[in-house]
Amino acid sequence: MLFTLITGASMGIGEAFAREFARRGHNLVLVARSGDRMQTLAEEFRRQRGVEVKVCVEDLCDAQSPARIYEFCRRQRADIDMLVNCAGLSRAGDFDDIPLEKLEQVMMVNMMAMARLTRLFLPDMVARRGGSIINVASLGALQGVSGLGLYSATKAFVVTLSEALYGELKGKGIKVIAVCPGFINTGFFERAGHNRANLRLPMSETGVVVKAAIKGLKKNSVRVFPTLIDRVLVFSQRLVSRKIVIWLAGFIAAVKDR
Ligand SMILES: NC(=O)c1ccc[n+]([C@@H]2O[C@H](COP(=O)([O-])OP(=O)(O)OC[C@H]3O[C@@H](n4cnc5c(N)ncnc54)[C@H](OP(=O)(O)O)[C@@H]3O)[C@@H](O)[C@H]2O)c1
């Protein structure tokens, strides 16, 4: 039976993906650390949408977790037709202030888990000649952001890998998309120690990310920027020097203005 696997499904943007795909009748595998939250969502989706939902509690900082998730799906006979790599975290502050442990965590979840899960599930999609991969990146991926250097670099990895996969998988029936949101109203900022009151752009709701990703998949886009402001910012990068791009990104994120 075909399933959609969503990492980071316990809250925020991942939860919004789970809600929308449940509404569309997808069977789901939900992955995150917060088991109780996911069980509550799973019960709601089973009851209200009549879909099958499996909950897989894993900490993606653990290098073995992607292999366990893959095994979990095999045991549950859940064939993953769509993979949504949404789990992610950030840490606000200058690079030389980031605790080494946090540096590891951000890189493990944002890059390693995303790459490992994709590597594990892709051969089955190729064998079936069908599937979709949604990678949640960030507008921050398009340049280094002062105060968010590590985070923006990990998201650049996500975009770059997605683009390469898009090229490799063309003609094999598998779609790959990198979604690059700006600021979205979730608990992400508090968790990262990033004061959202300082941000110099408005926040959008999680639904805009999900809508943009689904529309982008339909159009077979490789990168999508959910809001008009996101698209204007991306376009403006063509008109100014790289130094201005970097300054502007740091100004907008305003990590240091506490
Ligand atoms: N919010 C924004 O403005 C924004 C903008 C651009 C891109 N993004 C990206 O969007 C994605 C979702 O962000 P969000 O705003 O929804 O953040 P969020 O509300 O903090 O949710 C993050 C999700 O990732 C999961 N997660 C974090 N660490 C994990 C770990 N070690 N193991 C397993 N799961 C883990 C969390 O689940 P548990 O805590 O239950 O494990 C949670 O479900 C991230 O990749 C983020 O970088 C966010």
Q: Atom 41, ligand 1: which residue's CA is nearest? A: 33
Q: CATH number of the domain at 209, please.
A: 3.40.50.720
Q: In this model, does residue 139 exceed pLDDT 70? A: yes
Query: From the CA of 158, how far away is ligand 1's center (Å)?
Result: 14
For residue 233, tell me if it sits in a domain.
yes
For residue 11, tell me if it sits in a domain.
yes
For residue 121, tell me if it sits in a domain.
yes
Cβ neighbour number for residue 63 with a 10 Å cutoff: 11
Nearest to 24 by CA among 243, 211, 238: 211
Single-letter amino acid code for the residue at 157: F
For residue 208, tell me if it sits in a domain.
yes
For residue 137, the number of C-alpha atoms closer than 13 Å in the C-beta half-sphere is: 30
Q: Total domain count for the chain?
A: 1
Residue pLDDT, tens place only, 60-99:
999 999 999 999 999 999 999 999 999 999 999 999 999 9
For residue 253, the number of C-alpha atoms closer than 13 Å in the C-beta half-sphere is: 31
List Cβ neighbours of 171 (8 Å cut-off, separation of 6 or more). Answer: none
Q: In this model, does residue 258 exceed pLDDT 80? A: no
Q: Which ligand 1 atom is at minimum distance from the Cα of 191?
A: 20
Q: Atom 20, ligand 1: which residue's CA is nearest? A: 188
Task: Tell me if the pTM is above 0.95.
Answer: yes
Query: From the CA of 111, how far away is ligand 1's center (Å)?
Result: 13
For residue 62, tell me if it sits in a domain.
yes
Q: How far apart are CA 174 and CA 166, in angstroms?
A: 8
Q: Pocket around ligand 1: residues whose beta carbon is below 6 Å from it?
A: 8, 10-14, 32-34, 59-61, 86-89, 109, 136, 138, 181, 183-184, 186-188, 191
For residue 64, tell me if it sits in a domain.
yes
Q: How far apart are CA 152 and CA 57, in angstroms?
A: 27
Residue pLDDT, tens place only, 197-252:
999 999 999 999 999 999 999 999 999 999 999 999 999 999 999 999 999 999 99
Query: From the CA of 257, how far away is ligand 1's center (Å)?
Result: 23
- E strands, 58-138, are 79-85, 131-136
For residue 32, tell me if it sits in a domain.
yes
Residue pLDDT, tens place only, 7-30:
999 999 999 999 999 999 999 999
Instruction: Give the range of the structural domain holding residue 136, as residue numbers without chain letter.
Output: 2-253
For residue 225, tell me if it sits in a domain.
yes
